[in-house]
Amino acid sequence: MSIGIVFKPTIPKEFSPQVKVKPKVKRPVQVSWSNLDLVKLINLRALGVSFKKCGPLLNRSMAASVAAVDSNNLYGAISIRRNELIKEILQ
């Protein structure tokens, strides 16, 4: 009687419940926005500077600028500052 080839599966250690695999990706250090930086961002946005250009001007990324406006709810402040600049020009 011939048995032939016997398949014996091996499971990688990463899938074993006994071994905990640590994630290889480290999160970047989160730098909070100072009030001065937020005021600069408000003024730049009121002037119509795009987020793509605001980021490098403030030594941040474009996504960080968008997140700062959204998380701090600066839309109203930007609108008010924009209206103030328009009034200054028209006087």
DSSP conformation letters of 28-65: PPPPPPPHHHHHHHHHHHHTT--HHHHHHHTTS-HHHH
Mean pLDDT confidence for 60-82: 95
How confident is the model at residue 35, as a pLDDT? Answer: 95
Query: Domain map of the chain by residue range?
Result: 33-90
What's the mean per-residue pLDDT of the chain? 87
| pTM (2 d.p.) | 0.68
pLDDT in tens, 37-69: 999 999 999 999 999 999 999 999 999 999 999
